[in-house]
Amino acid sequence: MLKKSLLKQAIGLVKKGHSQSDIEKALKVSQWDARKLHLTASAFVELKETLDVPVPRIKPSKTKEMHIVLSDMHFPYHDQQTLDLVTKFVYEQQPQTLHLLGDVVDFYNISSFNKNPNRKFTLQDELDQTTEYLFDLRHNLPNTRIVYYEGNHENRLQRYLWGKSPELGTLRALKIQELLQFEELHIDYFDYNTYNRERHLAFHHGALISKWSGYTAKRVMETVGCSVIIGHCHRLGSSFHTSLGGNHVAYENGCLCQLNPEYVRGKPNWQAGFSVVYFVDEQFFVSQIPIIDYSFIWNGELYKL
């Protein structure tokens, strides 16, 4: 058995290019032991050199910015379990920006559609549930920029006031920004007619609906002429377009509401989900996350309550 200390010294000598007879003389060992030491040390040095070859690694960019996009909760028609799951993920990630891409509140009580007379909740209940959620977000995301986009459901308020009582429609106190306390919560706001373009990606709730997944976002992209991410259609989908004008892509963000609400007949073609957007320099990278049976996969991890 070779002594460990001898082998260590032999490795040192082999590394410097010494031969078997150098080892024999330097370590004062027999020719036979020098042969074994030389063989073992050479094998070790060779193996170490092989293992030490650096594996090329992709360096993660330090300048990346994480944004999370949630849309279409439709309080009080939100899906509590879906929302709990996603909100927990958002708190864990602490993104730089959280986009609430519209239809956060349903405004069922001022809808122009017929209403179920047995419904127990009032307009104030709808607002209370929404503000409670927004306060919770602000409390748990102290350093996150939160951006709220008016959807067609929030826009019901303006349409109702303008239609039924245009005089009251001018009151600041009745604006969505006031009712949901955006100033106090440090929430940025974009009204229904605007697009918030961040670098090469435009954020917008959406107004039209096409029949198939990806088609709605495609139409919005055609209209605005740049990449977009929209809510509204309650679907997950994407549509890519490459031309001399560049590479553009349009995303549909899914929804976080109940997938079979009482006010929709039949089985709506809706999917639960949300998106994560990374901005790196001038580029953006969107990951769409479908929620299936109240679970989803992110970074190889299963998220489930």
What are the residues binding Mn ion (CB under 5 A)? 72, 103
Structure tokens at 242: 């490459």
Q: Of 6 and 229, which CB lies nearer to Mn ion in the complex structure?
A: 229
The alpha carbon of 189 is separated from its chain's Cα centroid by a whole number of angstroms, namely 20
The conformation of residue 211, written as its DSSP 8-state character, comes to S
Q: Of 214 and 254, which CB lies nearer to Mn ion in the complex structure?
A: 254
Residue nearest to Mn ion according to CB distances in the complex: 103
Asked whether 74 and 105 are in contact (CB, 8 A), the reply is yes
Q: How far is the CB of 151 from Mn ion (least distance, A)?
A: 6
C-alpha to C-alpha distance for 227 and 273, rounded to whole angstroms: 19
Q: How far is the CB of 190 from Mn ion (least distance, A)?
A: 16
Q: Of 47 and 209, which CB lies nearer to Mn ion in the complex structure?
A: 209
Q: Which amino acid is at 258?
A: Q
Q: How far is the CB of 216 from Mn ion (least distance, A)?
A: 12
Structure tokens at 133: 């959620």
Q: Phi and psi dihedrals of 210, rounded to 5?
A: -100, 165
Q: Of 75 and 160, which CB lies nearer to Mn ion in the complex structure?
A: 75
Helix (H) or strand (E) holding 147: strand 145-149
Q: How far is the CB of 234 from Mn ion (least distance, A)?
A: 6
Q: How far is the CB of 103 from Mn ion (least distance, A)?
A: 3
* Residue 12 exposure: Cα atoms within 13 Å on the Cβ side: 8
Q: Of 98 and 233, which CB lies nearer to Mn ion in the complex structure?
A: 233
